[in-house]
Structure 1
Amino acid sequence: MILVTGGAGFIGANFVLDWLASCDEPVVNLDKLTYAGNLGNLAAVRNDARHLFVQGDICDGGLVSSLLDRHRPRAIVHFAAESHVDRSIHAPEDFIATNVNGTFSLLEAARAHVSRLPSGEQSVFRFLHVSTDEVYGSLNPGDPAFTENKAYAPNSPYSASKAASDHLVRAYHHTYGLATLTGNCSNNYGPRQFPEKLIPLMIANALDGKPMPVYGDGGNVRDWLYVGDHCAAIRRVLEAGRPGETYNIGGWNEKTNLEVVHTLCDILDSLAPAQESYRRQIRFVQDRPGHDRRYAIDARKIERELGWRPAESFETGIRKTVRWYLDHQDWVKDIQSGAYLQWVEKNYGERPAVAGAGA
């Protein structure tokens, strides 16, 4: 079996569901169930004997060690992380606690666990760390995309905490021989994403008739990766990745934030038409501090070495995503509790309007 951390969150839950749909190997799923963890994401496997959910903190070394001793997984797939840049600006200490200290705790538990395994099990054990392209910093318009050799230059508390965790993972391979693998992915989107992130937030606000807040001029560029493609890439890295290696995982889909929001509005105009185009709800608001201008992933290494390439284009993936949210509006409403609404008001409510590029 495998141990997955953060498997009730957006990417982790999609990975667990895809894993159990594609093979019979059991999963132990460890998640703290913070605001972004949602057992509703795992409803499809609630009664599946191959899925064992454990509520707990990756910083709890005793709990992690007991799970490793009891279940003897052949791999740890580590998703658990605080991941929202805006939240890291307001509360950076949470990101250090989970992303740095939590990863350190997991690595220590894994190192001790592997040392107790028979040699045959030691040789196949893997620690797969799921990270982000944000560790590389910001690109100018004409700069080449991030390769695995790009120097780290994180610009937010979130990306700095993920960079620190990446360095720890690398160090545990080179110092202790732990068979680690790291995937640095671009912006994920798709079903079950917590609606504080750009795409689900825009969909929810559009359908509720609320303003759709776009930072600055909307010209910040991201590479967009459909979550199902990311899950397939992780499975492939776990299967055939070389220990100690890093693999950049991207969608080959660079889009400005405004392009993404326009695309969402146009799809919603087609699938859930209102009296006027949803574009009329776009509002440009004051940019967040230190907002990186552009990210871009060069994903040729994983294609060359492991044969992985995304199956979805942005056009096919984003339409599937909008359709999922339209079909699962109860899921969104269940998440939009008082705490969520307070966060949205805190982050966006006091930002002054600014002149944008036009809706």
Structure 2
Amino acid sequence: MMAGLGDRSVIPFQAYTGDDPYLFVSFSHADKGEVYPELLRLHNKGYRIWYDEGITPGKDWMEVIPHAIEKSSFFILFTSPNIIGSKYISREITYAIEIDKPFLAIFLEETTLPSKLKFQINVYQHLFKYELSLVEYNQKLMEVLPEATLDENIAKKPDIDPFAVLFDVALEVFDSGDHATAIMMFQRIVKLDPSNINAWINLSIAYSEQKWHQEAIEAARKAVELDQENPRAWMALGIAYFNKERSNVEAINAFRKALSFNSLRISERKEAWRKIGYACKRDGNWDDSIDAYKHAIKCDPDDGSSWLYLSRALEMIGRKQEAMAAYRKGVDLGW
């Protein structure tokens, strides 16, 4: 992101490395947006979990993985079409079966397995998560997982808010650049908690980063519906419209609504004014564009790029001396 989760820059928690019983988890990294929330939830319940983020840099994968499977008390395979063809997951499955490790396959979605893989895991327990309600899934999963892998000290602590933990990880994922995975995480949060306005806001922003403009607009609208007095919801809606072609008027209106709230942070006010300036420029409204850039400069007089934007707008309507002065100011500020 653009070191992504697959690049190990962001992980939900450190994999277990002790000598007590633990769960070994195998999955495709293409499914991390679905799997990481599950691992977080189990981790917060007190389960000891090893997954391949537990490989210390420099260690030999062919040595670490078999050793981790051997020491584990239970093998979980998160199953989806993404595991098909993965030689690494195939080796993990084969080895777990060879040493007769207790085994559970959790199907994240309907998956047609190749004959060999189907033959390997068909005799073991299965959970079809996509067919079950969250309550049913949790109940069945808790019945299967060995109690020995549960850390009683952690389990006795007050419950950790799973939404808060997942939200924090989703933000880290987003900040590191993996917007596609962040989208999957925020989608999961709003599915489980449709009133989570911050998740809707960040889902909209993540959609915007992926250029999924209509989805971004719809998520931001949902945030605004939940709280019309939330300036960040209006900012998200403004950004979503701003990134969609021919939506300048809607973008400007949303940004102006955000600016009407005193609680909007100064950095966000500057961003809103600059985007208003650019949206006005796209519509050829140069006077309004100049006015907006001047407001952005008031928010942060030392931002050289705002001065350069102002310079270009002034130049377009023939105010060349003012344009040159603004340009020099921007250059002096190190733009």
TM (norm. structure 1) is: 0.34
Over alpha carbons, which structure has the higher Rg?
2
Q: Relative contact order (alpha carbons < 8 A, sep ≥ 6): 1 or 2 greater?
A: 1
TM (norm. structure 2) is: 0.36
Bigger share in strand: 1
